[in-house]
Amino acid sequence: MRVYSFPQGGIQFRDPAVPQKTASAVAFLPGLSVIPLVQHSGARAAPVVAIGDYVREGMLIGRGQGPGSANIHATVPGKVIKTVSWQMSDGRTNEGLVIRLEGSFEILGKREEFSPWENLRPREIQRLLAEYGIVEMEGPGNPLGDMFVREDSTGESISLVVRCVFDDPWLAADYVLCRERFRVVCEGAVITARAAGAERIIVAVSYRERDLGRRLLEDIETYGIPVSLVMVGDRYPQRNRRELELALRSYGKKEGLAIAALLILGPATLAAVHDAVKLKRPILDRYVAVGGQAVRTPQVLKVRIGTRIGDLFEECGGFVEKPRRIATGSPIRGREVLDLDEPVIKTCSAVFALLDGPGGGETTRACISCGECRIVCPVGLDPEYLYKRTAETASGGGGRAAECHGCGCCDLVCPSRLPLSSVIVNSEQGGRHD
């Protein structure tokens, strides 16, 4: 089977500090849960409960306010004992409700009761997704309803892309989820296609996982919707929207398929869609990869939203040595964690604690003009030139800097450990802002 990829650049990213992708373990339920009111791309959800109130598992506690905002639910039963706020590494302030675990669970440990969805109209499915606060479980956390509107506004036919592309080892949680909740992901994809008005499902899978791809294809085929399997490369950043679109449009051209608007979603999001529509359940937990050189026993954990990050490290045996960097996401493009009391949110797929920087050290040196950054850039830019121009002028990177999407390939290969991509992206954003 042919493998489709982007034409230039990229890297093969490996990391021995990632947890094994064999199975997940269920994390302990936290005695205190911190439920943030911002777990999405838009405005803070408005709290609908107060200090002293008792809440049920799955109960609405924050109502979304406008575009980009989503409903927030209690992930454990208990008493709201206080509100807290904390500073994020990007300068924003988040706030949340602290729930002390009390009372009985209404969902956990109970027999699942399935609701039929086959006769639901798209608008009815969209209403359920909004009610249960379903967002894209990565990136900024865009509400699915907003994504449906954006793709539908193009007036083109929509293809839903099931993105099982594992170009980064820190996608271990998505990989394990896809294996353990295989049928849930498939049915979630079909439900999402119905809600979005998608005419076709495209399963995009890293070529080393062709067996997983075939299983996904065969299961989705049983629902009677047109579905295609596309094997793509596993060079980072193949999973990025631009690089994935290049591969899929190349596939469409070869196969004679008219691939227009693409709605690209990962397995965690599709599983959340299934749970909302078929189980009438909000996002209560998610799979999280916990690891890094500083962590004693890296694991993939099934974690309740609102569990504090420090608790996850404790569950993995604590630190072998004081970490120099703690972040969520991936060492390439992760978000720094400033406080171990910061909670897991809907979009948190991995947390890690490192003893050094992602490239093996944190000390930067002068550029030696080796050209490695030019070789790996998937957009064909000259990161060395743009970085130096940014340092020399106050007007930003200039040239083709706007094409940089901050994938971080150049940062990872730079022997001088220069923060090339972040400087280029930040300078360009600053130039556009001015």
pLDDT higher than threshold 90 for residue 274: yes
Q: Comparing C-alpha atoms, which of 207, 169, 208, 205 is closest to residue 185?
A: 205
pLDDT higher than threshold 50 for residue 431: no
Q: Do both 11 and 137 map to the same domain? A: yes
Q: Which of the pair, 153 or 123, is modelled with greater confidence?
A: 123
Partners of 336 in the beta sheet? 327
pLDDT higher than threshold 90 for residue 169: yes
**Own/partner pairs, 18-21, CB within 8 angstroms, 24+ separation:** 18/169, 18/170, 18/172, 18/289, 18/291, 18/298, 19/172, 19/289, 19/290, 19/291, 19/298, 19/299, 19/300, 20/172, 20/298, 20/299, 20/300, 21/172, 21/175, 21/176, 21/300
Q: Residues 341-388: pLDDT tens digits?
A: 999 999 999 999 999 754 444 678 999 999 999 999 999 999 999 998
Q: Domain end: 219, 244, 278, which one?
A: 278
Residue 83 lies in a domain: no
Residue 97 lies in a domain: no
Mean local confidence (pLDDT), 419-425: 88
Residue 363: predicted pLDDT? 74
pLDDT higher than threshold 50 for residue 432: no
pLDDT band at 42 (very low <50, low <70, confident <90, very high): very high
Q: Do both 138 and 9 map to the same domain? A: yes
**Strand stretches in 180-328, DSSP E:** 200-206, 227-232, 261-265, 285-291, 299-304, 325-328
Residue 434: predicted pLDDT? 34
Residue 303: predicted pLDDT? 97
Instruction: Pick the range with the lowest mean pLDDT from 125-129, 260-264, 425-429.
Output: 425-429
Residue 433: predicted pLDDT? 35
Instruction: Pick the range with the lowest mean pLDDT from 261-265, 338-342, 356-360.
Output: 356-360
Residue 58: predicted pLDDT? 97
Mean local confidence (pLDDT), 107-116: 91
Residue 11 lies in a domain: yes
Residue 64 lies in a domain: no
Q: Comparing C-alpha atoms, which of 381, 390, 379 is closest to residue 418?
A: 390
Q: Residues 221-231: pLDDT tens digits?
A: 999 999 999 99
Q: Do both 157 and 268 map to the same domain? A: yes
The total of structural domains in the chain comes to 2
Q: Note down the domain range covering 403.
A: 372-433
Proportion of the chain above pLDDT 90, given as a percent: 81
Residue 138 lies in a domain: yes
